[in-house]
Each structure stands twice: as C-alpha cells, then as structure tokens.
Structure 1
Amino acid sequence: MPTNGLHRALRIQFGLVNDADRYLTAERFGFKVNASAPSLKRKQIWALEPGPARGAAVLFRSSHLGRYLAAGEDGRVSCEAERPGPDCHFLVLPQPDGRWALQSEPHGRFFGGAEDRLSCFATAISPAELWTVHLAIHPQAHLLSVSRRRYAHLCPQEDEMVADSNAPWGVGALVTLLFQSRRYCLKSCDGRFLRSDGRLVWEPEARARYTLELKAGSLAFKDCDGRYLAPAGPAGTLRAGRSARPGKDELFDLEESHPQVVLLAANRRYVSVRQGVNVSANQDEELDHETFLMQIDQETKKCTFYCSTGGYWTLVTHGGIQATATQVSVNTMFEVEWRGRRVALKASNGRYVCMKKNGQLAAISDFVGEFEAFTLKLINRPLLVLRGGDGFVRQRRGSSQLDTNRSGYDVFRLSFSDGAYQIRGRGGGFWHTGSHGRVCSDGDRAEDFLFEFRERGRLAIRARSGKYLRGGASGLLRADADAPAGAALWEY
C-alpha cells in the first residue's frame, strides 16, 4: 500500500443543524454563537476534538475562529476560549434518529435554542436541544472498512458495491456522499445509490438513505430500520447487517481521493508499466497498468505519479523514467506545464520528458515539441462536485445560472475529448459561457473546458476565452479570472 500520505483519512468537519433547520454559527464580534444561518459556510463549520482526559467528553472547535465552544454554570454559551477549559467539555448523546444532544459535562445541562437565544441550561432533552450533523468535507472520497482494511468499490459483474480492494484504484473506488433530508446517500461512480439490502438503485429511495453516526473519528451508516451498513461475506458486499449497534465491522473511514490519470503520447498509445519497470508509451487500452495516481506537493506544486504495481515514476541514470521508487524523493517529483489541451513534464534534472522512438519515456529534452507533449485524462471523476471558498457550485432553481456559494451541491457529469472536458448539468444541459463570462448549464451543444490540477485537491478550469472560472462576490460562476489562483481554484 502506498506511503507518504497517499492514504490519509479526512479530518471530519461538520455543521450542526437545529430543529428549525438553522446552523450553529460562531461570530467574530463578541465571540457569540447563534443558530440563524440557513446554509453551511465558513462560520458554521466545526471540528470535534477529544478532551484532554481519557473520558467521554469532547471539545467543539470553530474552524472559523479557531476557538472552543464553552457553556458556563449560568447556561451562557460563547466561542471565546483559545484554550479549552472545563466549561468547554461536552458529552455527545446520540439519539435514535441520529441527532445529537450536547450536554455540558461539568454542569449537566443540555445545549439548544433558536436564533440568538441559545443556552446550555435545559434539564431535559426536547426538540430544541437536538442537532443534526452535516459533514463539511468534500463529499467525494474513498470508503475504507475499518475492520477489514479494504476499500469499497463498484463491482459491475455482481452489480453491487464490495469492500475487498487493497488500494482504491480506478474509477470504481469513488464514492459520493449525498446529503438529503438530514440523511446521507452513498452514490457509486455510475450514479446509482446503495440500498440497505445491497442493491444499487437509480433513485435515492427511503432504503437508500442513512443516518450518519460518528464514533471514534470514524463513520457508521444506519438505515431506516436501525441496522448498520457493513461488509458481508467473503467478498465484503456492502449491506445492512443485523447489528443494532455500531461495532468495528460497521465503521468506515473516508480518505482523500487523489486524481488518477492516463497519459496519451504522440504515437497515440498509452503510457504504461505493463511490460516491466520502464515507463513506456506502448499500449492501446487504458487499464490498471496505464492508470497513475497523481499527487501534488502543496509547497512545490510538483507532482508524483504512483503506479498500480506499487512504485513511483523516478528519474534514473541517463534520463530514463522507471517505476521503481518506493519513497518520494527529488527524483520522483515532476513539474507539470499546462499547455492548453496538452501537458509537458519536467524532471528533476531540468529536462522535459519525451517519448523515444521505442516508446520509452526519458527526460532528455531541452524544449517542448511533438514528442514532449502528452494528453492527460482524469479517469476517476465521472461525477464532479466543485467547492470554492464560499460554498459549492449548484444550479439555481428555475434557472440555468450556476451559483458558487451554496451549502448543497449538484453532481455534474464529465466527458472527455482530445484534452478537454465537457460538463453536463442537471436536466442534461451542457455548461457554456455567455455574456460577461457568465457560465450557465443549459447548453444544447457541449463546450470544451480545460482542467489544470494546480494544487493538492484543487483544480483550475479554463474556458474557451482563455479565462479561468471564478466564484465572485455575487455568488455567480463566471469565466473572468486571468490566473489560476485564489477564487479560481476549486476542490473537486
């Protein structure tokens, strides 16, 4: 299994929604808290931290302020504490419907209320003291069974999802979490939903909706009958078992999903490691040996290419490229130059990777020509969810306009053609650019967009005008940014 951070559990961040469908909010002014926000944005994001002692108490830290929620003996609640004191300790009491009741550990009172009338003074739990957990992470990830240490993926032959992979390889390992009516659906890479009996269905019906529970930093999915999703049998088929309480078998971790790509060389053949350690452009189909996991270093912005055979691309003697490295080093890092529909790769020796006459790759060129240009195709995002600094991209109800500041998200479909992507939105219309760079989702004909993977977990999208897609202050998606930075970078 890859090392160097390729497999990293996501830090769980979330919003807390009260009975009136309003989010717990931490305000900078006076470090006050309220429950007035109708959507999940920066001020509404919280992280759960263990208490300093080995007990059941936990801490709620505002991701916006970096400070801790606290409840005094008089029931007053604030988010001012830079370091957690006794008043910051809460007990999480999960309810049968999956909601949480939050009890002050030192004072024994329950936290709740509405709008700016929040307190921690209730002696009993009523609907006003119940909170729904809404995950604030990007909803596309890999799902790892805690007990089996195997990854879930779509198994087309058996028409089910199974947890039997040592590594989350290929498009089938992508899982999308869809938040609907306070519950979560698990969506496979082909757009179907996992039902509790193990079947895959096209609509998010009642038996395909799960209450989310957090336990020891992992997730459990409870179906409408109170049973928990777990891998079953030798194949690890995902279905709800008999357990009414989540044990280790019913726990899952979410892991970051790095881009997995294939590269097409000038000879119209795929780069591969099928025939040995040499990285060569010599295959006519894109399978596991032609798929590479691309990880971008956050500081240098250079990337590594990891192979299904268990090695990284690395620069070797005389400029050759082989898939033999087991650890990340200077020689495994490549600088990516985005050249419209093509990319060029520069190795640590300062030279460009080219395709030699025999198909082998070597970093021996001082300039970019035909044999140094590659077509790079993203293969593990047939379904695309985009999130910017202000929220998710979603089509406005009753309109073709795309907003960039929504707490909910749309799942868009990708197709690929000659180095460019076409994006299909809700209702089947294509993304296209209109007046003043405005991006809409009702096109009859596909428009090409270029994807550039600029940072870890973030991409830039370039329109036909040459401008990058950006989320503006108004919340409208526009192609009007000159550089792939800031608001023009998207989590995907």
Structure 2
Amino acid sequence: MAVSLQLRASFEVSSLYLQSDNTAVFVDPSCEWLRCVWDLVQRGRSSISLRTATDRYISRIDDAVGLSSDLDSAAVFDVLTRRDGTWDFRLADGKVLSVNTHERSLHWSDGSHEESASWTVHLASIPTVNMRNASTKRYLCLEESELRVSKDVAWGAEAVVTLEEVAGQYAIRTCSHEYLDQSGSLVEEPTESSLFGLVVKGGRVAFQAVDGTFLSAGGPSSSLASRRDKLDRDGLFILETSRPQVTLTSHSDDLKVAFYETRGDIVADQDKTDDAVCFQLESKCSGSDSLWYIRTHHNKLWQLVERSNAIRAETEEKSEAAEFQLETMDDRTVLKSAKNGKYVVVKSNGHLQASCDEPTEESQFVLELVNRPAIVLQGPSGFVNQGDEQAALTCRSLTSEVFRLESRHGRYSLSTDDEKYWSLSDDGDHVEAESIVPVAFRIRFVSETRFIIQTTDNSFLCHSNDTDVMITAKEVEAGNGQWNYAGTNVAVHGRVTPSPSPLPPRRQIKQEQEQQPLPPSPGPQKPPEQPKGGGRCVIL
C-alpha cells in the first residue's frame, strides 16, 4: 500500500548549477529543470552515485569529471556533511568534486578550497509526505496538539506533514498549519528551535535540531521531540508518497456521507465522521480513461459483487471487479464500475449499488480531497511559486512554495499563508495570488500524483513553453495543464551559502474562516508583500 520515495537531487555552487546534457556534465548560472535533476543512487550505507535524467552517471574519466552510461563506472561518493549543512562529494582516494567559479568548470580537488568544494542542498520535489518511523514502523500523525508516532496506517490529513523550507533549514508543518518545535510543542510560526537540518542516511531521513540533537519518539504517547545526541533507528524515518484521500458525499436527499463498516458494506450515513468516511484513491493508469481503486482505512478495496451489483469492501486483491472510472459533472463526480459498466447509485436503504445505465441524481457525489490542507504543486519545468516582486504565479521555480487548499461542496480555493487567494488577472490570461476573498476552482484527478485545475467557466490552469507564469487555456494539450501534487520521488536542489541566513519575517498565519460558498472570480486585491525563506538539506 505504501510507496517509498526515491531521492533525487540537483546542486548549485555560487549561483552555478550542476547540470548535464547528453554528453557532458558542467556548471552554469542558467538552469533548465530537467538538466539540474540528479538521482541519488545508494551505493552503500553512506555512499552514493549521481545519475542524470537520461540514465548517465557522473564519473572520473582520466582525472576529469565526465559522464558514463555504466553504473559500474560511476564515481562512488562518500557524502561528508559540514556544520553549515553543505556537502562534500569525496572519492575513496580523497578527491572532492569541486568547481572553479572563475572558469565555471568542474574538477577533482584535494578539498582545500572549501568554498568551491561544498554544496548546500534544498528539498525540491513535492515535500508533502507521510513519515514512517524506521524502528516502530508506525506513522507520524497529529493527535491532541502533538505529533506522535502512533498510527499503523497513514490515514487522513492528520497523517500528512509538509517539510517547509525556512532560512536554510526545514520546518515540519502539520495539517493545522502549525510547526513542530524541538521541545515537542507546536508553534504558529517557525523559530530557530523549530528548524531542523535534514539528514539522509541509507535512503532514510532524520531531523537535527540547532543544538545537534535528533528528533525521535518517546514518552507514553510516543510524541516527537529532540531527545538524543546520537542518531539511531528511532530517529530515522521513511518518507512515503501521500496518496489522495477523499470523502464522497451523496448529492441526493440530505447529503449523506459514504462510509465503510466492518461487515464490508459501503453505505451512506450522515453521522459518521471518523476515518471510515475517508477513502484512498489509487490509479491503475492515467488519462481520460483512468481506472481507480478505492481503498478503505481497513486496507480493503471497494469491489463489485457480481450477482447483486452491490459495492462491498472485503478484499485487498486488485481485480477488474475493484476498478472504477471517475467521471466529472461540473462540481459532481459519478463512479462507474469497470466490471459491469453500470453507475454507482445510493439505494433507499443507504447502500451503494452499481446498477444504473445513465448518471442520475442518485449517482452523483461530491468528491473532496481531504489530506491536502497544505499543498505544493509542480509542473514539468518546476514548482508553482509566487515571485517576490510580482503577483503572477510562476511555474518554473526551483524552490517550492506551500499553499493552503480549502474545499467547499466540490469546489476549491488556494491561497498563500498571508491570505492572498488565487484568482485570474484582469484580462483573464494568467493566474495571480492577489484576491482577499476565496475564488472557486475545480479539481479533476488524472492520476494519484497529478490533477487538472479548472475555473468555474471551464478554463484550465496551464504552464506554457513561452512564459514563466501560470496561464489559462480553453483546452489542455500534451499534459500542459497537469500538476503534480504528490510523487513517488523526492527531488532536491541546492546552492552554496557562505553562512546561515537570519530568519525572515513569516507571512501572517491566516485565521480560520467561516464555511461559506465560494464566489466567482472577483477582481484581484493586493495586500502587502512579505519576504520568503530558503531551505537546506543535510546528508550524512
């Protein structure tokens, strides 16, 4: 059920990015996303090789830095971590991957020129994840204002955290938009004691506080706090893909919620509010004809019972009987069984049954994504980000930005932490984060890691090959309107910094708003700009 995250990386020295083409590895101040991304291939407990997006490896060729297509010929690095979080990539004979910043060239050095041999690293792929402890095998979750290692299954928004970059380190952000302090308490804004260096060891991660101690679970509730000076299995975590989890609300009668009960029946009831009303979507394939498996919190899949056409959850086996199509109808979703071609409807007794030839009111559901209150989006050329000096959202950034996602009756609004909501520009050509009131969008799932965002007039939010900003379009072509909101890998990118930067002022934390219908797109309104922070990833 769980999918571990494969580490990827890209690096920068003095504004020179480590990148590659089909024949060479080099550094350059300009950077295309795919040229900057490197896979970190584990070659031992603390050794790695660096692999390009075209399956080539950084190698030592006649004392030069080159590329090889053979893993056996790849350079094997011991990653040495400095106090400021930068990495040295050191070979067995002591040579270090270095940069001549004046000539913009790579070479092997003895490591004496620290400023050109050390690399600072930033988490750069989707940082919204589930975290499973390497020792107890349990998941991190938010319970009673604490982060605890207590769940056997990663379920609901409480089991999702976002690793948010702040001033060269990482803050662990909860679904309540609070941050973990090294004492174990939750705070509204990141401070020095709630920022951690990210340590990667053997494909697992640990979090090191400013005083050198590591986060680990302890006490009667297994709460997370900085406790130990030495890193052991209790302080190691496995990052896993956070798959989409949704609620399905019946559109008929008085809006009943579908839930799973222990006998295996899927029925609709308005009183259930626990994990039973949350279902995980897992895609078999992507695209307009994508098929989906729907999993309950008891690890059972929805399945068609052939004789009665009832929908039950009694098996973990993925088969045609467990496959469904999700079809969107404006703000509603209908489910169609792949086995018998019938639509799922709510019967008068509240049970679900795939028995309808055409969509009806009884077959329409409000499907809402519930485990992404904090969301990071990425396109093929980089992250969605708000520029420091412009309102328009860009989609080529090497740095992720965390947005807030709110859902109401099948529609969504996205905003920054300082209450600036996404909206269309005055001419409707691009997207801005400028409105002070929520603006409605629709989300259509393409796969368990990607979705499409639509406006209420059915325009699509897209990335363009001609501009950095997020644009609108009437049609989606060649996947240019698909956005990653989760992933099966973690990518990181970095830059060298001479010394840690001071904490930037945080954007104001948005207060909880009353639940109300989202209005159509208004004209943008501009609250004042606030500065942003960067990030650092430290590896042992």
**Is the contact made by 1:229 and 1:241 (CA closer than 8 Å) also made in structure 2?**
yes
Aligned match of 2:457: 465
Aligned match of 1:3: none
**What are the superposed Cα offsets for residues 299-320 of structure 1, whole Å, 9 maximum, x if unpaired?**
5621111111331110003210
Aligned match of 2:41: 49
Q: Given residue 302 of structure 1, which amino acid in structure 2 is its aligned partner?
A: L
**TM-score (ref. length: structure 2):** 0.84
Q: Given residue 234 of structure 2, which amino acid in structure 1 is its aligned partner?
A: D
**TM-score (ref. length: structure 1):** 0.92
Q: Given residue 39 of structure 2, which amino acid in structure 1 is its aligned partner?
A: A
Paired residue secondary structure (1:410): coil
Residues 1:325 and 2:315 aligned together: yes
Residues 1:24 and 2:18 aligned together: yes
C-alpha distance in 1 between matches for 2:85 and 2:213 = 12
**Is the contact made by 2:46 and 2:202 (CA closer than 8 Å) also made in structure 1?**
no
Paired residue secondary structure (1:371): helix
C-alpha distance in 2 between matches for 1:86 and 1:93 = 21
C-alpha spacing 1:21/1:238, structure 2 compared with 1 (3 Å): farther
Q: Any unmatched runs of 5+ in structure 1?
A: 1-5
C-alpha distance in 1 between matches for 2:232 and 2:474 = 49
Q: Given residue 25 of structure 1, which amino acid in structure 2 is its aligned partner?
A: Q
Picking from 475, 478, 484, the partner of 2:471 is 478
Residues 1:298 and 2:295 aligned together: no
Aligned match of 1:67: 56
Query: How big is the shift at 1:408?
Result: 1.6
Larger relative contact order, structure 1 or 2 (CA cutoff 8 Å, min sep 6)? 2
Aligned match of 1:367: 358
C-alpha distance in 2 between matches for 1:173 and 1:87 = 38
Aligned match of 1:178: 164
**What are the superposed Cα offsets for residues 412-468 of structure 1, whole Å, 9 maximum, x if unpaired?**
222222211122234312211231431111123322111111112001001122121
**What are the superposed Cα offsets for residues 43-97 of structure 1, whole Å, 9 maximum, x if unpaired?**
111112133xx6864311112x3210012353x212x211134462222222333
Aligned match of 2:186: 200
**Is the contact made by 1:312 and 1:324 (CA closer than 8 Å) also made in structure 2?**
yes
**Is the contact made by 2:149 and 2:222 (CA closer than 8 Å) also made in structure 1?**
yes
**Is the contact made by 1:262 and 1:286 (CA closer than 8 Å) also made in structure 2?**
no
C-alpha distance in 1 between matches for 2:397 and 2:474 = 20
C-alpha spacing 1:138/1:481, structure 2 compared with 1 (3 Å): farther
Picking from 386, 403, 406, the partner of 2:394 is 403
Q: Given residue 128 of structure 1, which amino acid in structure 2 is its aligned partner?
A: S
Aligned match of 1:7: 2
Paired residue secondary structure (2:29): strand
State the identity as a percent. 26
Paired residue secondary structure (2:458): coil
Residues 1:247 and 2:232 aligned together: yes
Residues 1:90 and 2:77 aligned together: yes
Query: How big is the shift at 1:343?
Result: 0.6
Query: How big is the shift at 1:135?
Result: 2.5
Aligned match of 1:133: 121
**Is the contact made by 2:45 and 2:202 (CA closer than 8 Å) also made in structure 1?**
no
- 4+ long deviations beyond 4 Å: 54-57
Picking from 376, 384, 393, the partner of 2:384 is 393
Aligned match of 1:452: 444
Aligned length: 475
**Is the contact made by 1:193 and 1:201 (CA closer than 8 Å) also made in structure 2?**
yes
C-alpha distance in 2 between matches for 1:166 and 1:272 = 20
CA RMSD of aligned residues (A): 2.0
**Is the contact made by 2:392 and 2:431 (CA closer than 8 Å) also made in structure 1?**
yes
C-alpha spacing 1:416/1:70, structure 2 compared with 1 (3 Å): same
C-alpha distance in 2 between matches for 1:485 and 1:336 = 21
**What are the superposed Cα offsets for residues 85-117 of structure 1, whole Å, 9 maximum, x if unpaired?**
446222222233332211122x43111114522
Paired residue secondary structure (1:127): helix
Matches within 5 A, 1:279-290: 279-290=266-277
Aligned match of 1:153: 141
Q: Any unmatched runs of 5+ in structure 2?
A: 486-540
